[in-house]
Chain A
Amino acid sequence: MSLQLAVRLDAELYRPGDPVTGTIEVREGGSSRTLEALLEYVEETEDYSSVATSIASGPLHTGELTTGMSFAFALALPADALPNFGGRHGKLYWQVDAKADKRGRDAHERCQIRVDSAQRP
């Protein structure tokens, strides 16, 4: 069976500077070298996408992942983080990417998060 991960977040809405915390659960175990969480700002059109900003948690675990394992992570949104935005032909959004580095194709589980503008004084 192939490695399967799931991301659970502790909150639904975030603002610049907020911590983004949650848990990565291993739904289906498998071989892995390193597991980490990435907080990414993504720009996406119908045909292309690009990660504009990436913030890494560092290794949460090294070695084999077995079903049922879970790992807490904490990442910080930059104080000047741009908010999510959805346009007619493209969108900008934040996501948490649980990434297991392994031989061959890495395993990813990506979860979009909602980031609004900083609260106005």
Chain B
Amino acid sequence: MTTGVSKWQKFRRTGHVSWQANPMDALRRKMTTGLDLEAGQDEVRRGDELQVRVTVSRPEQLGDVELGLVCTELYDVETASGGDDGGTSRSTSTAVAHELWQPVPGVEGTHGVRLHIPSSAPFSYEGLCLSYRWEVVARGRRAGKLDARATRRIQVIA
């Protein structure tokens, strides 16, 4: 009998697998079958509003539903390698640059929500050592359990 190597084991051995970076995301996706979202446009200017449609199809599995607008700042930092030689390495850290959540009716159906992008918020930017990424996130919060989560990347223009 041969012992197969699961994708999670492969992740732990190699540090990555090609089809998923984070096993928790796959689990969240599996749990998000009752939650979907659609952004009215892919690009929105700072100071404007984004129309989003959230579809709740299995409310009994989702708990409290919230819709959020999240901007993540990705920035390169120099970190100590941990060896005796005092060497350093470059890595990318992340921080939430902006987030705003609002409740969505947790009943079956499609709910339209308008999200405002503050004019003082970052704009989407992909750089060599600094980036800002925006996404719209719908999540079903469940006490003591992993949140259900659906996301859509958007471009916020300056």
Contact A48–B122 (Cβ < 8 Å): no
Q: Across the interface, do A89 and B93 meet the contact criterion of CB distance under 8 Å?
A: yes
B74 to chain A, nearest CB (A): 9
B73-89 residues at the A interface, CB under 8 angstroms: 73, 75-78
B100 at the interface (CB under 8 A from A): no
Q: Count how many pairs of residues, one from A and one from B, have CB atoms less than 8 Å apart in the complex.
A: 65
Determine if B128 is an interface residue (Cβ-Cβ < 8 Å): yes
Size of the A side of the interface (Cβ < 8 Å), in residues, is: 21
Q: Is the CB of A90 within 8 A of B73?
A: yes
Smallest Cβ distance from B38 to chain A, in angstroms?
Answer: 27
- Contact yes or no, A89 B123, CB < 8 A: no
A89 CB to closest chain B CB (Å) equals 4
B95 contacts the other chain (CB 8 A) = yes
Given A45-B75, A83-B158, A91-B130, 14 other A-B contacts at CB below 8 A? A44-B129, A44-B130, A45-B130, A48-B76, A50-B127, A50-B128, A52-B127, A82-B123, A85-B122, A85-B125, A87-B122, A88-B73, A88-B95, A89-B130
The chain A residues found within 8 Å of chain B, CB to CB, are 43-50, 52, 82-83, 85, 87-92, 117-118, 120
- What 3 A-B pairs are tightest by C-beta distance, nearest first? A90-B130, A47-B78, A48-B129
